[in-house]
Structure 1
Amino acid sequence: MEEGVVNEILQGPLREVFDSAQLLTDVSGSGNNWAVGYLTYGAAYRQSIVDKLRRASEQCDCLQCFFLIHSMGGGTGSGLGTRVLSLLEEEFPDVCRIVTSMYPSVEDDVVTSPYNSVLAMRELTEHADCVLPVENQSLMDIVNNINLMSHGGNPSSVVKRDSTVTSGQGGLSRAEKPFDAMNNIVAKLLLNITSSARFEGSLNMDLNEIAMNMVPFPRLHYLVPSLTPLYTLADVNIPTRRLDQMFSDAFSKDHQLIRANPKHNLYLACALMLRGNVQVSDLRRNIERLRPSLPFVSWNQEGWKTGLCSVPPVGHTHSLLALANNTCVKSTFMELRDRFTKLYKKKAHLHHYLHVDGMEQSFFTEAVSSLNALIEEYHHLDTTKANWTPDAPRLCIA
């Protein structure tokens, strides 16, 4: 909602990407307050938002889904972002809603981010079809690894000066915020998801198929994204990864955009979205190779969704995005709940929220109840993992 921030984009290198008539701003942001974003700005700009959504959707020949990209820690992203999500459900109930949510790190400089995140989580659980959680800390770790490479951490891997991953500065200095580098990783995630809609491929995947195939229970729609190679948008000199190695990388913790270990938890489903010169036989062979080491829920052992796009990302022969519906996300949610509870026990900063028209304390209790229920649902599924054994014999039908 900050006019200055949006104007900065309109004067930057991406100004041609945006239709200025579709932008919406106010004088100031939401002051890191979910209630201001959701209730104050949400009410004031409701009709204007709906009008802009209709205008954009009416220009589509085949409206597959809506993407919502927002942060969880501040006030506008969490509050107005989730208000837009509920408006999408009201106005376009049959169109899939895929949300990319940026989760704050523990060292976040917004004191009220646990409140904002938990209040937003309830809306995401109720109104989104799929949520792709991305943690700031994971992005920082990835960028730090690139930085290490650029300073000779690995002789065979070098980041060129002035590459996109280093924000055009030729290396991340301490004074520089590596937001450009972090945003590039998220941009790559979105580019891979939408590649089937933009390019031809032997096995195209509609965006609405992701929710249809990946979400067996409506509330459990949080998909862990992992990318390989991680540096597609960066000008990084690394040897081309073998195809099989790329599949293995996609299931390693270092390539995930949230900090969790899926192999210690249970898979409900998994989507593999490939770009480049990859054959269906390569895909099947690697799934068969990886399957024994991945603990899938007993009633969905064949829960793999695949997409092949023939056009690779710039600078690479192939890339892979894996989206895992895995119970490991509960660790992220539990950490968020703990940080929320520490503040809420002391009733710290609550008055800032309760002074907003329409905001009541019940919003907080209902939000944390929703989060508790979500964690419990994941935990209940996790208890069935005790019955999983690697290389279990599978039923063969002649």
Structure 2
Amino acid sequence: MIGHPSAVSCQRCGAQTPEVAHFCQVCGLDLRSEDLRRAKSFAVKPDEPVASFNLISTIMPRGAGQRPQTYRIALGIGMAVALVAAIFGALPVAILVAAFTIPVVYIVYLYDVNLWEDEPVVVTVAAFLLTGVLALAFTVGWMQLRPTVAQTPAIGGGTGIGPSVSGFLLVAIAVPIIGQILTQIGPVYLASRPKFDDLMDGLTFGVISGVAYSTFDTLVRHSGALFGGLGSHQDPATWVVLIFLEGLVKPLIMGTAAGIAGAEFSGLGRGYDGFTLRYLRGFAEAVLANIAYAAGSYLFSFLSGSKGTLLTLLWGLLILGVLILRVRNVLHTGLMEAALEAAARSDDSIGESGELEFCAACEMPLVAGAAFCNNCGTAVRTSPRTQPVGAATGPADPHPPALPAAPPEPHPSSIPTADRDEDQGGQA
């Protein structure tokens, strides 16, 4: 039955419509004309707008509504320890703590919410350790093999040698592109498994993979200070800014960028979308974000003193802000999809294991017997007869209304109540 505690009545036809619906599935009435995308109410935390810079509810959505302070405090403690160590010249400690603060907190978050359905070890190895090993090998390789003209000075160190074309092409173009490809190997493998094929999983796979790449990239780039013991020729203020940049801003840039691509690989609807145009767009967005950050970091690194480090930090914060807004939109869309799927499965003819139909226009789940999509308002009858609406085909379902390849269902506008499923099977 469609009727449940979160259902509301359509003002035009009286049909029971899921609370999360934008359009009535019977008559197609626009139920939320003032805020079609629910932009003022983020699906993770309704008291926040979608356009917000709240970090915890963006990258840790499952714990945002219950204990957001736990993860916020953990991140704060980790960064505070790293900054204090940098101030007192304990650079190895500062670098290690800064590099591993976000990965450790994020992995604890994954275990805490059991996001991987009792397979956290497999996911952690595939998404974090695999990317970390690849990043370590790649960063060591390109830093050892780079020509002299392409060498990049330490951030904020300053140099009398200006930027070169070969150096820019290597550091700001080639490395970000290859690095982004490496961050997609683990997420693509995991998201292609049936157990982890929804948009939420793809987003999280990408975040942890991007963070892993940043962690090991930081360790290699600052290996001199890491193994050089205490003290440095740079002043403590420069290292404080650098630790904040390398320990917080850079991993979040790489994590959110990779998360966008991973989410588009999973896509909307049943099954994963794979290497579609939407994935290519998400991947391109991630690459452009990393190129923008790497280019700014490379060019600013030639400035003397702490100017380069500070400008790199400001540039990174700007890029991170754009990425957070983009991730929140992707996440909001995915959670609305999950809500519509739950509403569709509340029908007795489908249940938890039944086959769902999906809108051909927006790929959102359709409520059983719907004549219009709850999300975009597209008429279901406009779907092609020769191909299924869903993302993938499977064995025939024993319930005729759930067969996507069957002839279109009769328009149910004459039966607007929650009792429609009584005669669905005999009208085909």
Structure-1-length-normalised TM-score: 0.23
Larger C-alpha radius of gyration, 1 or 2?
Answer: 2
Whose relative contact order is higher, 1 or 2, with alpha carbons under 8 Å and at least 6 apart? 2
Q: Which has the higher helix share?
A: 2
